[in-house]
Structure 1
Amino acid sequence: MTRLPTSGQKKYPTMNDVAAVVGVHPTTVSLALRSHPSIPLATRTRILNAVREIGYIRDPLLDAFNYHRCSKHTSKQSPSIAFVADSNSAPYFNGSAYHPFVYEGVRAVADPQHLSLEIFSLGNNGLTPNRLNTILTSRGITGILLSTFTLATKDIELDWGNFSTVKIESHHLLPQIDVVSNDQCQAARLCMRKLREAGYRRIGLATALDDETRLQDNFSSGVLVEQAELPAAECVPPLLFKRAEITEIATRIATWVKENDVDVIMTNWNEFFREATWLTAEGIRFPTNPPLHIPRDVAFASLDAPADRPQIAGIVQNHRLVGMRAMEHLEVLVKTYQRGAPKNPSGTYVPGYWRDGATAPKKVARRTRVQGATL
């Protein structure tokens, strides 16, 4: 028969037993088991060795009780998360469909966890990295979400060892830390496949050089992967342009379309259509002189199809989910006291999906009579 323990016997070792073996306070053991940075590595190692030696395990009943008790407890002051961008990105944040959706996703995770978000714009009102570092430290903020940064900001000098940090896209920004991003490579590949299914063969990528740098060349990488399986006659060289006035860029694209016999323009730039109107007979007028008409003259597929322009075909990127995943990841880092830049940064990539639209209708084969035959 199995002997039941008497009242004087312990069922299993406790945290006090671990503390007695190592010669530290039980609170030190508790902090070490949660990898708290205040406990030196050598002490933490001794505690973990003692845990394995005496067979200490957490009491599941006590854990359940603590979870129930803490879930009913209302904190007087909500922890804060810093949402940081640079001042050069402010126009994009206020004027694009991308940033508001990302921030909405961040809020969707933060609000139920009673985490407040504080937005900081580096470069605005004299906010330098040094001043930001002081503000975050004085307010006890240990979690940072780095949002969009232009190429003008290459690194931020903060005391990174004090913070848990996740980066949203902006791959160029140093230090290298965990990043959450839309999957631009997948977006470009899926877009090309859908366009080929619709009958297009000369598919051309047009995007900004700084977008490619900020996004780790993922759009052009996706195009190159797809082109590797295509005949050379169907491979269009990408057009990578510098940021300029929309009409100037549109004129460059129109020249590129003509020189390369492009069937369909594929781009993440929806700015071309901010002032455009949908015309029943001709489609969208591309802002060139003379104007190109889409899809009459050339088809168009967006690599970031906007929700408010359902007539534009292309890839819908899930910006809201990017924000959610970034906040979820940061929450884990904060709660497990993972501070500083990791030795091996990880990347989380959120895929997009295809949306049909009038700018890229299924291509009807041209019918040409050759000696009585129809091709």
Structure 2
Amino acid sequence: MSDASTKPTIRTLARDLGLSATTVSEALRNHPRVNAVTRDRVRVRAREVGYHFNPLASSLLSEVRRKRLSQFQGVLAAVDLVEPARPSISGSYLRDLARGATDRAAQLGFKVERFSIGRRGLTIQRLDTVLHTRGIRGVLIMPAWQHPNFTQLNWTHFAGAYADYLIERPALHSVCPDHHRAMMSIMDHLETLGYRRPGLVLQRQQTDRLQRRWDAGFLAHRESRGIEPIPLLVPEKLEREAFQAWFRKHRPDVVIGHSAEIVDWMTACGAHVPHSHGFCCLNIGLNSAPCAGIDLQPYEIGVHAIELVIAQIHHNSYGIPDVPCTTTVPCRWVDGPTLPTSPIGRPAS
């Protein structure tokens, strides 16, 4: 037994329990190599003798050991859902996000591997087995079009983050664009250019999956400025006929939306973009045609998301967080041919 006058250590715990110091250390870090019975036994004994595990010190020692051996620290998983309903245009966004995660992980000594689940991919149960067998403990969940459910992963083994708004099954830390702030900035910019009748066009799924942050920012700014209200156009599926009926009836002088195809629909109604009317794109990465609007910076989202996963690993923070937090990345304004670069009616300086 440990001497009560001696401060308990991992070595004294190991001696008391008849285990190796490595097993005790891994049990205190909730490592999956140690079975649940042994982990509980170690933790009970640690409480009895007053041992307090210091994850920071453990992480620093592990870092020293790793650098003695190699700069390579392990493999991380980037998990993507195969969703038939997801728009194909989202592919470029996901590629840039994955590239940011991969580049930053490599700088920090990790390799990122992509895994697909859903139709033609792994089941979540199979993914759990693969990750556990290969010792992959960090999981980055890529953005999903619908509402993902990853509760079947055994999260006691993993540190995870979601590269979009907070998911609820389970609730993890997340990194995503600041859509509300972006919309407020868009409205300020359009007002500076001289537009007074902005109209917002979204598909229902585009706003619902973001918990209505786009339209919340739009309506909040419009109300604060006393701008003449134009009804939002938010159909299940955005189609030419419905858009043109809305455009002719409400006569917005600038349209805010996702698809550059809207410019053609406006032109067919007699608009001359950007001379008589303007178009602002909510995600320029979705369109091959150049537009004025915002870059959601998916590369930077990937960078910050993978840093969050790695930080949890370094701090031995595995499992579903008690308080899931959201980190937002600001969007970037990009000039383009669908809006003037100087206020309407004024010559360029």
- Match of 1:270? 259
Give the letter aligned to residue 238 of structure 1: L
Further displaced range: 80-89 or 33-42: 33-42
- For residues 249-268 of structure 1, what are the structure 2 equivalents within 5 Å? 250-267=240-257
Larger Rg: 1
Name the CA distance, whole Å, in 1 between partners of 2:165 and 2:344: 40
Describe the SS at the equivalent of 1:125: coil
- Match of 1:353? 332
Unaligned runs of 5+ in 2: 1-5
- Match of 2:229? 235
Further displaced range: 353-362 or 31-40: 31-40
Superposed displacement of residue 103, structure 1: 0.8
Name the CA distance, whole Å, in 2 between partners of 1:237 and 1:224: 10
Superposed displacement of residue 237, structure 1: 2.5
- Residues 46 and 138 (structure 1 numbering): CA distance in 2 closer, same or farther, change over 3 Å? closer
Matched-pair identity in %:
26
Does residue 335 (structure 1) correspond to residue 314 (structure 2)? The answer is: yes
Any idea what the Cα deviations from partners look like across 1:140-193, whole Å, max 9, x if unmatched? 222211112222x54233223332221111545622211110111111111001
1:110 counterpart (83, 105, 112): 105
- For residues 193-208 of structure 1, what are the structure 2 equivalents within 5 Å? 193-208=188-203
- Residues 46 and 221 (structure 1 numbering): CA distance in 2 closer, same or farther, change over 3 Å? farther
Contact 1:18 1:51 in 2 (8 A): no
2:210 counterpart (210, 215, 220): 215
Does residue 125 (structure 1) correspond to residue 120 (structure 2)? The answer is: yes
- Residues 326 and 294 (structure 1 numbering): CA distance in 2 closer, same or farther, change over 3 Å? same
Give the letter aligned to residue 320 of structure 2: A
- Match of 2:296? 317
- Match of 2:69? 73
Contact 1:22 1:50 in 2 (8 A): no
Name the CA distance, whole Å, in 1 between partners of 2:78 and 2:200: 32
Describe the SS at the equivalent of 2:284: coil
Name the CA distance, whole Å, in 1 between partners of 2:113 and 2:85: 15
- Residues 225 and 43 (structure 1 numbering): CA distance in 2 closer, same or farther, change over 3 Å? farther
- Match of 2:3? none
Name the CA distance, whole Å, in 1 between partners of 2:65 and 2:85: 42
- Residues 20 and 65 (structure 1 numbering): CA distance in 2 closer, same or farther, change over 3 Å? closer
Name the CA distance, whole Å, in 1 between partners of 2:300 and 2:244: 34
Name the CA distance, whole Å, in 1 between partners of 2:148 and 2:206: 14
- Residues 291 and 79 (structure 1 numbering): CA distance in 2 closer, same or farther, change over 3 Å? farther
Contact 1:36 1:336 in 2 (8 A): no
- Match of 1:135? 130
Superposed displacement of residue 120, structure 1: 1.9
Aligned length: 333
Does residue 187 (structure 1) correspond to residue 182 (structure 2)? The answer is: yes
- Residues 93 and 69 (structure 1 numbering): CA distance in 2 closer, same or farther, change over 3 Å? farther
Any idea what the Cα deviations from partners look like across 1:88-108, whole Å, max 9, x if unmatched? 269757764311111111011
Does residue 177 (structure 1) correspond to residue 172 (structure 2)? The answer is: yes
2:264 counterpart (278, 282, 285): 285
TM-score, structure 2 normalization: 0.79
- Match of 1:300? 279
RMSD of aligned residue pairs (Cα, Å): 3.8
Give the letter aligned to residue 185 of structure 1: H
- Residues 188 and 89 (structure 1 numbering): CA distance in 2 closer, same or farther, change over 3 Å? farther
Superposed displacement of residue 312, structure 1: 2.0
Name the CA distance, whole Å, in 2 between partners of 1:192 and 1:179: 26
Describe the SS at the equivalent of 1:197: helix
Name the CA distance, whole Å, in 1 between partners of 2:192 and 2:182: 15
Any idea what the Cα deviations from partners look like across 1:114-153, whole Å, max 9, x if unmatched? 32222222223252222222222222222211112222x5
- Residues 59 and 291 (structure 1 numbering): CA distance in 2 closer, same or farther, change over 3 Å? closer
Name the CA distance, whole Å, in 1 between partners of 2:120 and 2:59: 47
- Residues 13 and 89 (structure 1 numbering): CA distance in 2 closer, same or farther, change over 3 Å? farther
Unaligned runs of 5+ in 1: 1-11, 274-283, 367-375
Further displaced range: 20-29 or 199-208: 20-29
Further displaced range: 204-213 or 20-29: 20-29
TM-score, structure 1 normalization: 0.74
- Residues 59 and 92 (structure 1 numbering): CA distance in 2 closer, same or farther, change over 3 Å? closer
Give the letter aligned to residue 254 of structure 1: Q
- Match of 2:46? 47
